[in-house]
Amino acid sequence: MPETAPKAPMKASDLLVAALEAEGVEYVFAVPGEENLDIVESLRTSSIELVLNRHEQGAGFMAATYGRLTGKAGVCMATLGPGATNLATPAAYAYLGGMPLIMITGQKPIKQSKQGQFQIVDIVSLYEPITKMSKAIINGNTIPALVREAFRVAEEERPGTVLLELPEDIAIEETDEPLLLPHPRYYAIAGDTVLDEAAEMIRDAKMPLLLLGAGANRKDAHAALSAFAEKTQIPFFNTQMGKGVIDERSDLFLGTAALSDGDYIHCAIARADLIINVGHDVVEKPPFLMEPGGTKVIHLNYKAAQVDQVYFPQVEVVGDLAKSITRLGDILGGPLEFDRSYFERIKKETDLHTSEGSNVSRFPVIPQRLVADTRRVMGDDDIIALDNGIYKIWYARNYKAHKPNTILLDNALATMGAGLASA
Ligand SMILES: Cc1ncc(C[n+]2csc(CCOP(=O)(O)OP(=O)(O)O)c2C)c(N)n1
Protein backbone atom coordinates (compact mmCIF):
# COMPACT_ATOMS: atom_id res chain seq x y z
CA MET A 1 0.00 0.00 0.00
CA PRO A 2 1.39 3.46 -0.87
CA GLU A 3 2.21 5.59 2.10
CA THR A 4 3.46 9.07 2.82
CA ALA A 5 5.64 10.06 5.74
CA PRO A 6 4.57 13.23 7.58
CA LYS A 7 7.29 15.91 7.67
CA ALA A 8 7.35 16.17 11.47
CA PRO A 9 5.45 14.71 14.42
CA MET A 10 1.91 16.05 14.38
CA LYS A 11 -1.05 16.20 16.69
CA ALA A 12 -3.25 13.10 16.44
CA SER A 13 -6.36 15.15 15.53
CA ASP A 14 -4.37 16.75 12.67
CA LEU A 15 -3.34 13.29 11.52
CA LEU A 16 -6.97 12.11 11.66
CA VAL A 17 -8.09 15.06 9.51
CA ALA A 18 -5.15 14.51 7.11
CA ALA A 19 -6.29 10.87 6.82
CA LEU A 20 -9.85 12.05 6.03
CA GLU A 21 -8.46 14.41 3.38
CA ALA A 22 -6.46 11.53 1.89
CA GLU A 23 -9.74 9.58 1.60
CA GLY A 24 -11.23 12.46 -0.39
CA VAL A 25 -13.61 13.68 2.33
CA GLU A 26 -15.23 17.01 1.40
CA TYR A 27 -17.63 17.58 4.28
CA VAL A 28 -18.04 16.65 7.92
CA PHE A 29 -21.67 17.01 9.03
CA ALA A 30 -21.71 17.66 12.76
CA VAL A 31 -22.97 18.95 16.05
CA PRO A 32 -19.56 19.17 17.74
CA GLY A 33 -19.05 19.41 21.48
CA GLU A 34 -16.23 20.13 23.88
CA GLU A 35 -14.77 16.65 23.33
CA ASN A 36 -14.44 17.28 19.56
CA LEU A 37 -12.68 20.66 19.85
CA ASP A 38 -9.29 19.37 18.71
CA ILE A 39 -10.82 17.85 15.58
CA VAL A 40 -12.79 21.04 14.93
CA GLU A 41 -9.54 23.03 15.14
CA SER A 42 -7.78 20.56 12.83
CA LEU A 43 -10.70 20.80 10.37
CA ARG A 44 -10.51 24.62 10.42
CA THR A 45 -7.15 24.60 8.66
CA SER A 46 -8.03 21.70 6.32
CA SER A 47 -9.75 21.50 2.92
CA ILE A 48 -12.78 19.88 4.55
CA GLU A 49 -15.92 21.91 5.16
CA LEU A 50 -17.57 21.54 8.56
CA VAL A 51 -21.34 21.58 8.04
CA LEU A 52 -23.01 22.50 11.32
CA ASN A 53 -26.36 20.89 12.12
CA ARG A 54 -29.04 21.52 14.73
CA HIS A 55 -29.39 17.84 15.67
CA GLU A 56 -26.98 14.92 15.32
CA GLN A 57 -29.66 12.83 13.63
CA GLY A 58 -29.84 15.29 10.72
CA ALA A 59 -26.03 15.28 10.44
CA GLY A 60 -26.07 11.48 10.23
CA PHE A 61 -28.82 11.38 7.58
CA MET A 62 -26.98 14.01 5.50
CA ALA A 63 -23.70 12.11 5.64
CA ALA A 64 -25.45 8.81 4.83
CA THR A 65 -27.14 10.38 1.81
CA TYR A 66 -23.81 11.80 0.61
CA GLY A 67 -22.50 8.23 0.83
CA ARG A 68 -25.56 6.78 -0.88
CA LEU A 69 -25.23 9.13 -3.87
CA THR A 70 -21.44 9.14 -4.30
CA GLY A 71 -20.39 5.67 -3.12
CA LYS A 72 -17.78 7.48 -1.00
CA ALA A 73 -18.35 7.31 2.74
CA GLY A 74 -20.11 10.35 4.17
CA VAL A 75 -18.69 11.56 7.49
CA CYS A 76 -20.60 12.89 10.47
CA MET A 77 -19.41 13.86 13.93
CA ALA A 78 -20.91 14.17 17.39
CA THR A 79 -19.70 14.51 20.94
CA LEU A 80 -19.72 11.82 23.61
CA GLY A 81 -22.79 10.45 25.46
CA PRO A 82 -25.97 12.21 24.31
CA GLY A 83 -24.38 13.47 21.08
CA ALA A 84 -23.29 9.96 20.17
CA THR A 85 -26.58 8.30 21.14
CA ASN A 86 -28.44 10.77 18.88
CA LEU A 87 -26.70 9.12 15.92
CA ALA A 88 -28.42 5.78 16.52
CA THR A 89 -31.19 6.16 13.91
CA PRO A 90 -28.90 7.29 11.05
CA ALA A 91 -26.44 4.54 12.02
CA ALA A 92 -29.19 1.93 11.58
CA TYR A 93 -30.49 3.73 8.47
CA ALA A 94 -27.12 3.49 6.69
CA TYR A 95 -26.41 0.00 8.07
CA LEU A 96 -29.64 -1.49 6.77
CA GLY A 97 -29.83 0.75 3.71
CA GLY A 98 -26.33 -0.16 2.47
CA MET A 99 -25.02 3.43 2.58
CA PRO A 100 -21.35 4.10 3.37
CA LEU A 101 -21.25 6.22 6.54
CA ILE A 102 -18.48 7.03 9.01
CA MET A 103 -19.43 8.44 12.40
CA ILE A 104 -16.75 10.10 14.53
CA THR A 105 -17.63 10.59 18.17
CA GLY A 106 -15.75 12.28 21.00
CA GLN A 107 -15.00 10.83 24.41
CA LYS A 108 -13.57 11.98 27.76
CA PRO A 109 -9.85 11.33 28.33
CA ILE A 110 -9.21 7.62 28.79
CA LYS A 111 -5.76 7.72 30.42
CA GLN A 112 -6.68 10.00 33.32
CA SER A 113 -10.04 11.62 33.95
CA LYS A 114 -11.50 13.83 36.66
CA GLN A 115 -15.07 13.45 35.46
CA GLY A 116 -16.09 10.24 37.16
CA GLN A 117 -18.69 8.63 34.94
CA PHE A 118 -20.35 11.95 33.99
CA GLN A 119 -21.78 11.60 30.42
CA ILE A 120 -19.89 8.34 29.93
CA VAL A 121 -21.73 5.69 27.90
CA ASP A 122 -20.06 2.68 26.32
CA ILE A 123 -20.71 4.00 22.82
CA VAL A 124 -18.46 1.49 21.06
CA SER A 125 -20.46 -1.45 22.44
CA LEU A 126 -23.77 0.34 21.98
CA TYR A 127 -23.14 0.65 18.23
CA GLU A 128 -21.83 -2.83 17.57
CA PRO A 129 -25.16 -4.32 16.40
CA ILE A 130 -25.91 -1.43 14.00
CA THR A 131 -22.49 -0.85 12.44
CA LYS A 132 -20.11 -2.93 10.32
CA MET A 133 -17.28 -1.85 12.65
CA SER A 134 -17.24 0.09 15.91
CA LYS A 135 -13.87 1.02 17.46
CA ALA A 136 -12.22 3.42 19.87
CA ILE A 137 -8.90 4.99 18.89
CA ILE A 138 -6.73 4.37 21.93
CA ASN A 139 -3.38 5.37 20.44
CA GLY A 140 -2.58 8.17 17.98
CA ASN A 141 -0.21 5.91 16.04
CA THR A 142 -3.08 3.65 14.96
CA ILE A 143 -5.01 6.48 13.23
CA PRO A 144 -3.78 5.93 9.63
CA ALA A 145 -4.57 2.21 9.69
CA LEU A 146 -7.88 2.61 11.52
CA VAL A 147 -9.12 5.37 9.22
CA ARG A 148 -8.12 3.40 6.10
CA GLU A 149 -9.84 0.30 7.48
CA ALA A 150 -12.93 2.35 8.40
CA PHE A 151 -13.30 3.59 4.82
CA ARG A 152 -12.62 0.14 3.37
CA VAL A 153 -15.28 -1.45 5.56
CA ALA A 154 -17.85 1.35 5.12
CA GLU A 155 -17.54 1.52 1.33
CA GLU A 156 -17.00 -2.11 0.38
CA GLU A 157 -20.09 -4.08 -0.71
CA ARG A 158 -22.38 -4.33 1.11
CA PRO A 159 -21.71 -0.73 2.31
CA GLY A 160 -22.74 0.46 5.77
CA THR A 161 -21.89 2.28 8.96
CA VAL A 162 -18.58 2.51 10.85
CA LEU A 163 -18.03 4.27 14.17
CA LEU A 164 -14.69 5.67 15.33
CA GLU A 165 -14.44 7.15 18.81
CA LEU A 166 -11.61 9.62 19.49
CA PRO A 167 -11.02 10.42 23.18
CA GLU A 168 -9.76 13.91 24.07
CA ASP A 169 -6.37 12.83 25.39
CA ILE A 170 -5.66 10.70 22.30
CA ALA A 171 -6.62 13.65 20.04
CA ILE A 172 -3.74 15.72 21.48
CA GLU A 173 -1.08 13.00 21.36
CA GLU A 174 1.93 13.59 19.14
CA THR A 175 2.50 11.03 16.40
CA ASP A 176 4.73 10.68 13.35
CA GLU A 177 2.89 7.71 11.88
CA PRO A 178 2.68 7.91 8.06
CA LEU A 179 -0.70 8.03 6.28
CA LEU A 180 -1.96 4.97 4.42
CA LEU A 181 -3.41 6.09 1.11
CA PRO A 182 -6.48 4.54 -0.57
CA HIS A 183 -6.25 2.72 -3.88
CA PRO A 184 -8.94 1.87 -6.48
CA ARG A 185 -11.20 -1.05 -5.60
CA TYR A 186 -12.07 -3.73 -8.15
CA TYR A 187 -14.61 -6.45 -7.55
CA ALA A 188 -14.04 -10.00 -8.67
CA ILE A 189 -15.77 -11.14 -11.84
CA ALA A 190 -18.17 -14.11 -11.74
CA GLY A 191 -16.78 -17.30 -13.28
CA ASP A 192 -17.85 -18.77 -16.65
CA THR A 193 -19.34 -21.91 -15.08
CA VAL A 194 -21.95 -20.06 -13.05
CA LEU A 195 -22.67 -17.60 -15.88
CA ASP A 196 -23.30 -20.52 -18.26
CA GLU A 197 -25.54 -22.16 -15.67
CA ALA A 198 -27.53 -18.93 -15.26
CA ALA A 199 -27.80 -18.45 -19.02
CA GLU A 200 -29.15 -21.98 -19.42
CA MET A 201 -31.79 -21.37 -16.75
CA ILE A 202 -32.84 -18.16 -18.50
CA ARG A 203 -33.03 -19.90 -21.90
CA ASP A 204 -35.14 -22.71 -20.39
CA ALA A 205 -37.54 -20.31 -18.67
CA LYS A 206 -41.02 -19.91 -20.09
CA MET A 207 -41.79 -16.61 -18.36
CA PRO A 208 -38.65 -14.91 -16.99
CA LEU A 209 -38.70 -11.57 -15.20
CA LEU A 210 -35.85 -9.22 -14.34
CA LEU A 211 -35.88 -7.60 -10.89
CA LEU A 212 -33.78 -4.52 -10.06
CA GLY A 213 -32.99 -3.88 -6.40
CA ALA A 214 -31.06 -1.37 -4.28
CA GLY A 215 -27.65 -2.90 -5.06
CA ALA A 216 -28.11 -2.02 -8.74
CA ASN A 217 -28.70 1.62 -7.76
CA ARG A 218 -25.61 1.74 -5.53
CA LYS A 219 -23.19 1.15 -8.35
CA ASP A 220 -23.04 2.35 -11.91
CA ALA A 221 -24.92 -0.59 -13.44
CA HIS A 222 -27.48 1.50 -15.31
CA ALA A 223 -25.90 1.22 -18.79
CA ALA A 224 -25.17 -2.51 -18.53
CA LEU A 225 -28.66 -3.32 -17.26
CA SER A 226 -30.44 -1.13 -19.82
CA ALA A 227 -28.44 -2.86 -22.57
CA PHE A 228 -29.25 -6.31 -21.13
CA ALA A 229 -33.00 -5.62 -21.02
CA GLU A 230 -32.93 -4.14 -24.51
CA LYS A 231 -30.97 -7.07 -25.90
CA THR A 232 -32.93 -9.90 -24.26
CA GLN A 233 -36.33 -8.10 -24.14
CA ILE A 234 -36.97 -9.59 -20.70
CA PRO A 235 -39.61 -7.47 -18.89
CA PHE A 236 -38.46 -5.91 -15.61
CA PHE A 237 -39.86 -4.66 -12.33
CA ASN A 238 -38.07 -3.06 -9.39
CA THR A 239 -38.01 -2.67 -5.64
CA GLN A 240 -38.62 0.75 -4.11
CA MET A 241 -34.87 1.29 -3.67
CA GLY A 242 -34.15 -0.06 -7.16
CA LYS A 243 -36.23 2.62 -8.89
CA GLY A 244 -34.70 4.33 -11.89
CA VAL A 245 -31.84 1.88 -12.54
CA ILE A 246 -33.49 1.42 -15.96
CA ASP A 247 -35.72 4.23 -17.21
CA GLU A 248 -39.25 3.40 -16.08
CA ARG A 249 -40.71 4.83 -19.31
CA SER A 250 -39.42 1.64 -20.99
CA ASP A 251 -41.96 -0.64 -22.72
CA LEU A 252 -40.47 -3.48 -20.67
CA PHE A 253 -41.26 -1.90 -17.27
CA LEU A 254 -44.05 -3.74 -15.46
CA GLY A 255 -44.09 -1.72 -12.23
CA THR A 256 -42.59 -1.24 -8.78
CA ALA A 257 -43.24 -3.71 -5.98
CA ALA A 258 -44.47 -0.90 -3.71
CA LEU A 259 -47.30 -2.76 -2.01
CA SER A 260 -46.66 -6.03 -0.21
CA ASP A 261 -49.10 -8.04 -2.27
CA GLY A 262 -52.20 -7.96 -4.45
CA ASP A 263 -50.96 -5.44 -7.03
CA TYR A 264 -50.79 -6.11 -10.78
CA ILE A 265 -47.04 -6.68 -10.54
CA HIS A 266 -47.70 -9.51 -8.07
CA CYS A 267 -49.83 -11.25 -10.71
CA ALA A 268 -46.82 -11.11 -13.06
CA ILE A 269 -44.54 -12.41 -10.30
CA ALA A 270 -46.97 -15.26 -9.58
CA ARG A 271 -46.95 -16.30 -13.26
CA ALA A 272 -43.17 -15.99 -13.73
CA ASP A 273 -41.17 -19.22 -13.56
CA LEU A 274 -37.82 -17.45 -13.15
CA ILE A 275 -36.78 -14.20 -11.51
CA ILE A 276 -33.37 -12.77 -12.35
CA ASN A 277 -32.72 -10.72 -9.23
CA VAL A 278 -30.12 -8.02 -9.75
CA GLY A 279 -29.06 -6.25 -6.56
CA HIS A 280 -31.96 -7.00 -4.24
CA ASP A 281 -31.18 -8.45 -0.82
CA VAL A 282 -33.48 -9.45 2.00
CA VAL A 283 -32.91 -6.24 3.97
CA GLU A 284 -35.36 -4.37 1.78
CA LYS A 285 -39.04 -5.26 2.25
CA PRO A 286 -39.50 -8.38 0.06
CA PRO A 287 -40.82 -7.68 -3.46
CA PHE A 288 -41.79 -11.38 -3.66
CA LEU A 289 -41.76 -14.36 -1.33
CA MET A 290 -40.06 -17.57 -2.40
CA GLU A 291 -41.71 -20.88 -1.61
CA PRO A 292 -40.24 -24.38 -1.77
CA GLY A 293 -40.93 -25.77 -5.25
CA GLY A 294 -42.05 -22.34 -6.48
CA THR A 295 -40.56 -19.78 -8.86
CA LYS A 296 -36.81 -20.16 -9.32
CA VAL A 297 -34.45 -17.28 -8.63
CA ILE A 298 -31.03 -16.32 -9.98
CA HIS A 299 -29.25 -14.01 -7.52
CA LEU A 300 -26.83 -11.51 -9.09
CA ASN A 301 -24.98 -9.38 -6.60
CA TYR A 302 -21.57 -8.41 -5.22
CA LYS A 303 -22.20 -10.76 -2.34
CA ALA A 304 -23.78 -14.17 -1.96
CA ALA A 305 -27.41 -14.21 -0.81
CA GLN A 306 -28.30 -14.03 2.84
CA VAL A 307 -30.63 -17.00 3.09
CA ASP A 308 -34.01 -16.42 4.64
CA GLN A 309 -37.32 -18.28 4.91
CA VAL A 310 -38.53 -16.19 1.97
CA TYR A 311 -35.29 -16.09 -0.02
CA PHE A 312 -33.12 -19.07 -1.03
CA PRO A 313 -32.00 -18.57 -4.67
CA GLN A 314 -31.03 -21.64 -6.72
CA VAL A 315 -28.12 -19.98 -8.57
CA GLU A 316 -25.84 -17.19 -7.35
CA VAL A 317 -23.78 -15.07 -9.72
CA VAL A 318 -21.48 -13.31 -7.29
CA GLY A 319 -19.19 -10.50 -8.44
CA ASP A 320 -19.20 -7.17 -10.22
CA LEU A 321 -22.86 -6.58 -11.18
CA ALA A 322 -22.37 -4.66 -14.40
CA LYS A 323 -19.73 -7.08 -15.68
CA SER A 324 -21.87 -10.14 -14.82
CA ILE A 325 -24.94 -8.79 -16.56
CA THR A 326 -22.99 -7.75 -19.66
CA ARG A 327 -21.41 -11.21 -19.86
CA LEU A 328 -24.82 -12.86 -19.42
CA GLY A 329 -26.25 -10.72 -22.22
CA ASP A 330 -23.35 -11.73 -24.48
CA ILE A 331 -23.98 -15.43 -23.78
CA LEU A 332 -27.73 -15.10 -24.43
CA GLY A 333 -27.05 -13.18 -27.62
CA GLY A 334 -30.42 -11.63 -28.48
CA PRO A 335 -34.14 -11.44 -27.68
CA LEU A 336 -35.48 -14.48 -25.84
CA GLU A 337 -38.38 -16.25 -27.40
CA PHE A 338 -41.31 -16.78 -25.08
CA ASP A 339 -44.97 -15.85 -24.89
CA ARG A 340 -45.08 -12.29 -23.55
CA SER A 341 -48.83 -11.74 -23.86
CA TYR A 342 -49.59 -12.03 -20.13
CA PHE A 343 -46.79 -9.63 -19.15
CA GLU A 344 -47.99 -7.20 -21.82
CA ARG A 345 -51.45 -7.28 -20.26
CA ILE A 346 -49.94 -6.55 -16.83
CA LYS A 347 -48.00 -3.63 -18.33
CA LYS A 348 -51.23 -2.14 -19.72
CA GLU A 349 -53.07 -2.52 -16.40
CA THR A 350 -50.16 -1.06 -14.40
CA ASP A 351 -49.80 1.95 -16.70
CA LEU A 352 -53.54 2.57 -16.64
CA HIS A 353 -53.82 2.28 -12.87
CA THR A 354 -50.70 4.30 -11.97
CA SER A 355 -51.80 7.19 -14.19
CA GLU A 356 -55.39 7.17 -12.93
CA GLY A 357 -56.28 10.38 -11.08
CA SER A 358 -53.35 12.35 -12.55
CA ASN A 359 -55.62 15.21 -13.54
CA VAL A 360 -58.30 15.10 -10.86
CA SER A 361 -58.90 18.64 -9.55
CA ARG A 362 -60.29 18.00 -6.13
CA PHE A 363 -59.57 19.74 -2.83
CA PRO A 364 -57.75 18.58 -0.80
CA VAL A 365 -55.46 17.24 -3.50
CA ILE A 366 -55.50 13.46 -3.98
CA PRO A 367 -52.17 11.54 -3.81
CA GLN A 368 -52.33 10.50 -7.49
CA ARG A 369 -52.53 14.13 -8.60
CA LEU A 370 -49.72 15.21 -6.27
CA VAL A 371 -47.41 12.48 -7.58
CA ALA A 372 -48.30 13.30 -11.19
CA ASP A 373 -47.74 17.04 -10.66
CA THR A 374 -44.37 16.37 -9.03
CA ARG A 375 -43.34 14.28 -12.04
CA ARG A 376 -44.54 17.00 -14.42
CA VAL A 377 -42.28 19.67 -12.88
CA MET A 378 -39.20 17.52 -12.29
CA GLY A 379 -36.43 17.16 -14.86
CA ASP A 380 -34.90 13.76 -15.64
CA ASP A 381 -31.93 14.36 -13.31
CA ASP A 382 -33.88 16.04 -10.50
CA ILE A 383 -34.07 14.10 -7.25
CA ILE A 384 -36.99 13.75 -4.87
CA ALA A 385 -36.30 12.77 -1.26
CA LEU A 386 -39.12 11.16 0.68
CA ASP A 387 -39.85 10.44 4.30
CA ASN A 388 -41.97 7.51 5.49
CA GLY A 389 -45.69 7.08 5.42
CA ILE A 390 -48.40 5.92 3.06
CA TYR A 391 -47.52 8.75 0.70
CA LYS A 392 -44.13 7.10 0.11
CA ILE A 393 -45.96 4.09 -1.29
CA TRP A 394 -47.92 6.32 -3.67
CA TYR A 395 -44.64 7.80 -4.92
CA ALA A 396 -42.94 4.41 -5.20
CA ARG A 397 -45.86 3.00 -7.17
CA ASN A 398 -46.93 5.92 -9.36
CA TYR A 399 -43.81 8.09 -9.89
CA LYS A 400 -41.82 6.99 -12.92
CA ALA A 401 -38.10 7.43 -12.26
CA HIS A 402 -36.12 8.24 -15.38
CA LYS A 403 -32.61 7.99 -13.93
CA PRO A 404 -30.87 5.97 -11.18
CA ASN A 405 -31.10 7.34 -7.65
CA THR A 406 -33.54 10.10 -8.53
CA ILE A 407 -36.05 8.97 -5.92
CA LEU A 408 -34.46 8.70 -2.50
CA LEU A 409 -36.57 6.74 -0.06
CA ASP A 410 -35.88 4.35 2.76
CA ASN A 411 -37.38 0.90 2.39
CA ALA A 412 -34.90 -0.78 4.75
CA LEU A 413 -35.11 0.86 8.20
CA ALA A 414 -38.07 2.83 6.82
CA THR A 415 -37.51 5.59 9.32
CA MET A 416 -39.40 8.85 9.46
CA GLY A 417 -37.19 11.93 9.68
CA ALA A 418 -34.64 11.14 6.95
CA GLY A 419 -36.43 12.84 4.05
CA LEU A 420 -35.70 16.49 4.78
CA ALA A 421 -32.09 15.87 5.81
CA SER A 422 -31.51 13.75 2.69
CA ALA A 423 -32.83 16.56 0.53
C1 LIG B 1 -38.90 7.41 13.38
C2 LIG B 1 -40.18 6.69 13.06
N3 LIG B 1 -41.22 6.72 13.91
C4 LIG B 1 -42.37 6.07 13.63
C5 LIG B 1 -42.49 5.36 12.46
C6 LIG B 1 -43.78 4.58 12.17
N7 LIG B 1 -44.53 5.31 11.12
C8 LIG B 1 -44.43 4.99 9.82
S9 LIG B 1 -45.38 5.95 8.85
C10 LIG B 1 -45.98 6.80 10.17
C11 LIG B 1 -46.97 7.91 9.97
C12 LIG B 1 -46.65 8.87 8.87
O13 LIG B 1 -47.65 9.82 8.77
P14 LIG B 1 -47.52 11.01 7.73
O15 LIG B 1 -46.16 11.59 7.77
O16 LIG B 1 -48.66 11.93 7.99
O17 LIG B 1 -47.66 10.29 6.30
P18 LIG B 1 -48.91 9.45 5.71
O19 LIG B 1 -48.75 8.03 6.18
O20 LIG B 1 -50.18 10.06 6.18
O21 LIG B 1 -48.75 9.53 4.22
C22 LIG B 1 -45.42 6.33 11.35
C23 LIG B 1 -45.75 6.90 12.69
C24 LIG B 1 -41.39 5.33 11.59
N25 LIG B 1 -41.40 4.66 10.45
N26 LIG B 1 -40.26 6.01 11.91
For the stretch 208-225, pLDDT in tens is 999 999 999 998 899 999
Arithmetic mean of pLDDT, 71-97: 98
Enumerate the domain spans of the chain: 10-175, 192-422
Confidence category of residue 5, pLDDT binned at 50, 70, 90: low
* Helix 12-22 vs helix 37-44: crossing angle, to nearest 10: 50
Arithmetic mean of pLDDT, 151-173: 98
Asked if 38 and 185 count as a contact pair (C-beta separation under 8 A), the reply is: no
Kindly tell me if the per-residue pLDDT of 98 is higher than 60. Answer: yes
Distance between Cα 383 and ligand 1 center (Å): 21
Across the chain, how many H-helices and E-strands are there?
17, 18
Distance between Cα 322 and ligand 1 center (Å): 35
Cα 1 to Cα 117: distance, rounded to the nearest angstrom: 41
- Residue among 94, 93, 56, 100 nearest 78 (CA): 56
Q: What residue owns the CA closest to ligand 1's atom 2?
A: 416
Question: Which one of 368, 409, 416 would you pick to mutate in the ligand 1 pocket, going by the greatest count of ligand atoms within 8 A of its CB?
Answer: 416
Give the pTM: 0.96
Asked if 28 and 51 count as a contact pair (C-beta separation under 8 A), the reply is: yes
pLDDT at 1: 45
pLDDT at 103: 98
Kindly tell me if the per-residue pLDDT of 2 is higher than 60. Answer: no
**CATH fold for the domain made of 192-422:** Rossmann fold (3.40.50)
Cα 399 to Cα 248: distance, rounded to the nearest angstrom: 9
> Which residues, including other chains, have CB under 8 Å from residue 15's CB and lie 6 or more apart?
6, 140, 143, 144, 175, 177, 179
- Residue among 79, 101, 163 nearest 413 (CA): 101
Q: Mind giving me the DSSP string for 283-325? A: TSPPSS---TTS-EEEEEESSPPPPBTTB--SEEEES-HHHHH
Q: Tell me, what DSSP letter sits at residue 365? A: P
From the candidate CATH numbers 2.40.50.140, 3.40.50.970, 1.20.1050.10, 3.40.50.150, the one assigned to the domain spanning 10-175: 3.40.50.970
Q: Which atom of ligand 1 is found nearest the CA of 387? A: 15
Question: Which one of 368, 388, 410, 422 would you pick to mutate in the ligand 1 pocket, going by the greatest count of ligand atoms within 8 A of its CB?
Answer: 388
pLDDT at 7: 59
Kindly tell me if the per-residue pLDDT of 348 is higher than 60. Answer: yes
Task: For 297-313, write each residue's pLDDT tens digit.
Answer: 999 999 999 999 999 99
pLDDT at 3: 56
- Residue among 212, 254, 238, 243 nearest 353 (CA): 254
